[in-house]
Structure formats: C-alpha cells, structure tokens
Structure 1
Amino acid sequence: MKIIITRERIKLINIVRNEKSWIESNAVEQLKKYEKLDGMIRITGLPDLHAGRVPVGAAFVTEKKIYPYLTGSDIGCGIALFDTNVRMKKFKRENFIRDLNKVKYLEDIHADLSEYKFPYMEKLGTIGSGNHFAEFQKIEKVYLKDEFDKLNISKDNLMLLVHSGSRVYGQIVLEKYLESFGTLPLEEGSAEFNEYMKEHDNAAEYAKVNRKIIAEKLLKITGKEKPDLVLDSSHNMIAGKAENGRNIYIHRKGAAPSDMGMIVIAGTRDSLSYIVKPKENLSEYSYSVSHGAGRKWTREGSKDRMLKIHGKNKIIQMNKNLIYSDRKVLFEESREAYKNIERVIQDLVEHDMIEIVASLKPLITFKR
C-alpha cells in the first residue's frame, strides 16, 4: 500500500502529519499567531500538537532574540529513563505496589541533598501534578539491537521512567521575566538576555536533578539500590545552536530535541513508550521530535467522557496499577484522553524523523 504523506506549510510553519493524523484546527490557528514575531524564522508543529496557552508539541526557531514565554513556566521539564538494576524475574509487582502505597506523598521521603545548592530545595525530588509521573516499566521489544546495546542496559532489567520538571523554580523565573518584559523579546547579548538564560539554565539543571532524586526516592521506598541514569532529555526550554554561520534559538514547548542522541517518547499510563533515535540534521523540523502522545481531550471534559464510556467500576479496575493521591488523574490521565502514541510514532517514522530502538511497557505508575 502506498503511503501518502502531506506536509502543510503556512509561511514559516511546518506541521508534521499525514492523511490519518488528527490535529485540532485550534492548535494550528494558535501557531499562526507566532509566525510574525520579530526574529521568528521557523515553526514546527509535531504530531502530538495540541492547544494550550502556547500550543504544546511545537518548536519555534528565532534569530538574535528569544521569547521565554514560548517555553512556559516548567523550564527543563523532561523525561529520564533509569535502569533499576532489578532483574525482571525477581520483580514482584504486588510487593512494589504495597511498599509504594505506604507513601502518602513523595515529599515525605528523605533524600540527601547536601551536594546541591538550588532555590526551592523543598520541592526537589517531587513529581508535581498534571501529566507528570514516575513509571516502572519493562523492555517490551528491541527493534534495533546495535543501537540498544549502546545504552548498556539489559532487556531483562526493570526500568523506571520519570517525567517531571523544575516545579516552582521555573515558574518564578518566568514570572520575573513577564513582570519586567511581558511578551517582548530579549535581545541576544543584552544584560537581560544573559541574566534570563543564566536563570533558565539553572532551572533546567534543577529539573534534571529533580528527576534523578525522584528515581532514587522510589528505589529507596522499595528497598532497592540507587538507579543508573540511561537517558535524559528536556522538552520545555530554549537551546542555542549554530546554523549556517548564524546563531539560532530553539524554543521547545512539549517538543524533544533531535540533536542530543537517543530519547524516550512517552506514552500514556497504559500504553507503550518508545526509545527512539532521531535522524540527523532535522533542521526542517526545528531539530525537534514529539515528546509524547499529546492530549486529545481537555482535562475539564475528561471525567464525563470516561464515565460515559466505561462506568465507575471499570475505571477503578483499569487503574489497579496506578498509585495516586488525586482521583482526578483516573479521568484526566486516561489513555483515551490522549492521542494514540503508535500513530504519533508512525507519523515521525513516515516523515523519516526517527528510528525506533525499543518499546517500554508500563507496570506501575506513581503519581504522588
């Protein structure tokens, strides 16, 4: 069967989708608002694109100027994959669930933070709300053995995927900028530009450390050793890059980097996630690929839809492997509330943007 791939361009905008893809028109209309910004040279809407204050699943490329509000308040938000060094044959789901259920909030678990010096240390090692999570997973299938072997992990080990960001720190950095400049850009080389980027980079480092501490806490709860970091990538931040003799700035809002090696594209709580290798020089796509499935339903409308489709009892049964503190996640973070992750991955493959290295199957999801 011949695959027909369509690429829609609206001046500076490139939207990645094909004839079977679904991207809400509202998200596309939102992207159009930004193509006339001073210094804007390229905008990419990825298959997980959906509407937000700034559309999520998008990358914006500028020259000589940056717009901090385009990446939002959760600076450095990203996904990290850890090897727990627990063999799957020794993994007992019921024991892990029992131990994890003893914890009311991750804030209650002590961690040695003496080597770190950040603001808002009290939030370091906490997941946060929304679509953030920590998930124990197993390697479901290896597609590219040579690439998988480069990760130096065993397909027989239990893995841990953590999705979280800079918590209140990133929000304070953005609010400081908005209070002084609103939606105005910061000029490359100016004192304001340098000050913001310094705080931005520190918040991004905070987010990376946050994911590490979360993983360490969860292994501590279950009586295991510290995990080993395998991959970590941020999908909410500004990255500078040299391109054709000029400096450009990539603003990613729910978009993963394609120029940092292998990454994980996360699925929903009960669907697969994927380790992928982005293709080289994806300049046409703003050096970015999808970060996850992308929302299909609004959070506000998810409960009524889920109850209508499944009913209360079935919903509870469907979430037997979910450890949560807020019942809203049963509805807001359901598989149905998101786009089909396989469709998103296939769109990226068909546009020759990624190679699939391996898939990951969820076993226990922690959201406390």
Structure 2
Amino acid sequence: MTEAAIRIISSDIGRMDPLALDQLAQTARLPGISRIVGLPDLHAGRGIAVGAAFWSPDMIFPHLVGSDIGCGMGLWETEQPARKFKLDAVERKLRGLDEPWDGDVANALSRAGLHSEQGGGALGTIGGGNHFAEFQRIEQIVDKERFEALGFRADAIWLMVHSGSRGLGQAVLDKWMRRKLVAAAAASEEGADYLVAHDHAIGWATLNREIIARRFCEKLGLDARRRLDICHNSVTPHKGGWLHRKGAAPADKGLVVIPGSRGDFSYLVEPVTEEGEQALFSLAHGAGRKWSRNDAHGRLSKRFRPAELERTALGGRVICEDRRLIFEEAPEAYKDIGVVIHDLKDAGLVRVIASLRPLLSYKTRRA
C-alpha cells in the first residue's frame, strides 16, 4: 500500500506530540490520501491529529473535517480607543450572552442564503470547549508600513471571536457516519450530499461569528468593522483535488489571526503565498494544546483555585463560570505561541504584521 507523503512544519520535530505524529501516519495509510502537512500547532485529537491539512486527488473524507465544520476566527476592529476601555465596566456589562439571541433568526439566515430549519436556537452563541470571544489591543506593530496601508488603528480595541457551527456541524457528521463510509468520491451522490451540507454549515458558522461579535459590541455600545474571518475546519477544492483542513487556517484567503492561549499574545499575519504550496496553503490555527483536557484539569486543579485563573500573567481577565472548563482551557495547557509563529516565519510561510494583547477573554457566564 502506498502511503501519503507527510511534511512537518517545525524547527524541532522532537517537540511534536508522538501521538499526533502517529495519528498522521495512520491517516497517511488511507487509500485516496496523497499529501499531509502537520503544522507547528499539531496535537493529538480524537483519532485525528489537529493542526494538519490533508489532500486527496478525488475523495472526500468527512471525518478529517470533524464535527465543528466551519469553526474559525473572526477579527473586528472597534471604534473604541484602548485608553477608554475600562475592564471593570466591561466585565459588568457582558451578561446574557449565553442566552439565545433575541434577534430575527429566520431573517438573518435567509439574508445569508441559509436554511432556517436547523440550528437557529444556537445562532449567536459561542458554545463550549475552546471557543471564546476576546477583547484585545495592539501590543506591537511589527510591519508599520503594511499595518498603515491596511488602514488599521494602533489605539483601537479589537474583538476576536472563535466559534463554529455548534450542533449543526455535529449533525452533518452524524448523518455521514450513519452511512458507514470512510470516504466518498466528490462526484458521487454521497460526496455531493456531504458537500452541500458542509457548505451550509460553513455559512452558518460565519454568520454565527458575526452575530456573536454584534451582540458583544452592542452590550458595550461599540461600533466595529470586521477585518477578517477565516475557517479552519473545512474541505475545499485545491489543485484539481480536495484539501481537508483540521485545525488549519487557510493561507490563500488573505490576512490570518493566530491566537495564543488566553494568557498569551495573538498574531496578525499575512501569508507568503509564494511558499504556500509546501504547506498545502495552510497555517497554524492557534498555539495548539500541550495537555489534554483531562490532564489539564488533573494538573491544574491541584495547584490553583478557579478564582486564581480569572486573571492572567499579562494582566488580562477571564470570564468562565464553568469550573471545569476554566482549568481545561488554562494558558498552561497550551503550547508557546511564540514558538509556533517562529516556525511559520522560519518556513517562509508568514509575515507578522502585529501582535495583540488579551484584555478580557469570555467563555461562559451563568447569568
């Protein structure tokens, strides 16, 4: 059996999770997979490595996209100057955001060209796991000329939203799994059905991030402009075949924001498209997990009280009233984002425009 070629984007492969590398090797044995790229944030997932891209000349593999189809990062630049952003007041005002959106769901879906019969109750909500909304400010402008050419303001407050298709993506994967197929030709009835459902979930997730951002800004009376929205769980046409990204940001869609943990910086980068093919036009989507959720809870719940994790080493605040999740998503559970960005730069894949400092990370609030 011919195995797919695997390329790892890392300055030190010894730092990589052995289980994640083994998961890549297992995927490389699937008939129909021709190329695999592991990115610097590579880590083990539920049977499939996260932080990777997979290319097939003619087959669709839904399990390589996973259940949260369309999950991604949106970044909004607000009109609020950083000097006027008062954390105490902001923290008090961010309430009711876990509740269903009270807007016109049917109209919003219709205007986006989406069906209204699925997932409407979750529209405009962040969800669990590693999803979040985070207010940030510019920490350092690395490429001043490019920063100014893009019309960005150095003193603005920014809002980053990480969320996806909620239960809709899970329903799409569940329906596929009932077929008991690993893969299907893209041109087949099964493949075409999946792609239609997949594209709908992508659109739903993009709209979801937009409404989340709107809700957060409305709570604070802010105007904001979306600067980018990128999806890191998807399958798209590429070089006559099909490119599956699992926790991999696209390098062929313009600017990308790569977040660290809630206690580390995020980076606004511009892909270097001339070098993109070596990495299947994909980039790291974040820092990547260092510890599993169970490991993080087990290690950190013995060392910290939940209240201690509501403040970060960078002076940021965290709103997370799920007592288990606050340990599972602690900064210590994640890799060093600086190393991830260094590896992408070292491979010639990105130019850094600016770094952003987290001010307030929101995950969930009971009331």
TM-score (norm 1): 0.91
Contact 2:101–2:125 (8 Å) recurs in 1: no
206-215 or 143-152: bigger deviation: 143-152
Tell me, yes or no, if structure 1 residue 55 matches structure 2 residue 21: no
Structure 1: which 5+ runs fail to align?
1-9
1:204 to 202, 205, 215: 202
Partner Cα separation in structure 2 for residue 168 and residue 326 of structure 1: 19
Q: How does 1:25-64 map to 2 (within 5 A)?
A: 25-53=18-46, 54-64=48-58
Q: For residue 209 of structure 1, report the CA deviation from its aligned partner.
A: 0.5
CA distance in 2, matches of 1:70, 1:150: 37
Change in CA separation of 1:112 and 1:220 when aligned onto 2, cut-off 3 Å: farther
- Residue aligned with 1:116, SS: helix
The answer to whether the Cα contact below 8 Å between 1:278 and 1:353 also exists between their aligned partners in 2 is yes
Q: How many Å separate the matches in 2 of 1:126 and 1:309?
A: 31
2:344, 2:350 within 8 Å by CA — same for their partners in 1? yes
Aligned counterpart for 2:320 among listed residues 321, 324, 329? 324
Deviation at 1:307, TM superposition (A): 3.8
Report the counterpart of residue 266 of structure 2 in structure 1: 273
Amino acid at match of 2:61: Y
Please name the residue that 2:337 is paired with: 341
Asked whether the 8 Å contact 2:78–2:157 carries over to 1, the reply is yes
**Structure 1 residue 181: deviation in Å?**
3.6
| One-letter amino acid matched to 1:75 | I
Which SS does the other structure have where 1:107 is aligned? coil
Residue in 1 that maps onto 2:179: 180
Query: Could you tell me how far 1:341 is from its partner in structure 2?
Result: 0.5
User: SS at the partner of 1:57?
Assistant: strand
Counterpart-to-counterpart distance in 1, 2:295 and 2:197: 36
Matched to 1:159, the amino acid is W
Deviation at 1:309, TM superposition (A): 4.5
1:292-311 matches, within 5 Å, as 292-310=286-304
Shift of 1:191: 2.1
Question: Is the Cα–Cα contact under 8 Å of residues 151 and 230 in structure 1 kept in the other structure?
Answer: no
- TM-score, normalised on structure 2? 0.91
C-alpha separation between the residues in 1 aligned to 2:20 and 2:330? 21
Q: Displacement of 1:188 after TM fit?
A: 2.5
Partner letter of residue 217 of structure 1? R
- Determine the C-alpha separation between the residues in 2 that align with 1:40 and 1:304: 37
The 1:234/1:193 distance shift into structure 2, 3 A limit, reads same
Are the equivalent residues in 2 in contact too, given 1:70–1:253 (CA < 8 A)? yes
When structure 1 is superposed on structure 2, of 167-176 and 31-40 the one drifting more is 31-40
Instruction: Give the corresponding residue for 1:13.
Output: 6
SS of corresponding position for 1:111:
coil
Aligned-partner Cα distance in 2 for 1:298–1:175: 24
Alpha-carbon separation, structure 1, partners of 2:16 and 2:213: 33
Find the residue that maps to 2:140 and give its secondary structure. strand
Q: SS where residue 27 of structure 2 aligns?
A: coil
Residue 136 of structure 1 is matched in structure 2 by 135
| Structure 2 unaligned blocks of 5 or more | none
Give the conservation status (yes or no) of the 8 Å contact 2:310–2:318. no
Separation (CA, whole Å) in 2 of partners of 1:96 and 1:304 = 32
Residue 124 of structure 2 is aligned to residue 125 of structure 1: yes
User: 98, 122, 135: which is aligned to 1:106?
Assistant: 98
Q: Which amino acid aligns with 2:333?
A: A
Distance 2:53 2:195 in 1: 18
Match of 1:228 in 2: 225
Distance in 2 between residues matched to 1:153 and 1:331, nearest whole Å = 34
Shift of 1:58: 0.6
Q: Offset at 1:311?
A: 5.6
1:7 is aligned to none
Q: Which runs of 4+ in 1 moved over 3 A?
A: 307-320
> 1:144–1:180: structure 2 CA closer, same or farther, 3 Å change rule?
same
2:74 aligned counterpart, secondary structure:
strand
* Residue-by-residue CA offset, 1:60-95 (whole Å, 9 max, x unaligned): 011111101111010000000001211222211111
Report the number of matched residues: 351
Q: Which moved more, 1:74-83 or 1:277-286?
A: 277-286
Q: CA deviation at 1:182?
A: 3.0
State whether residues 266 and 356 of structure 2, in contact with CA within 8 Å, keep that contact through their aligned partners in structure 1.
yes
- Matched-pair identity in %: 40
C-alpha contact 1:66 1:186 (8 A) present in aligned 2? yes
Structure 1 position 73 matched with structure 2 position 67: yes
Taking structure 1 as reference, are residues 149 and 181 closer, same or farther at Cα in structure 2, changes over 3 Å only?
A: farther
Alignment match, 2:190: 192
Name the SS for the 1:18 alignment partner.
coil
Going from structure 1 to structure 2, the CA distance change for 1:350 and 1:309 (only over 3 Å counts) comes to farther
* SS in structure 1 at match of 2:29: coil
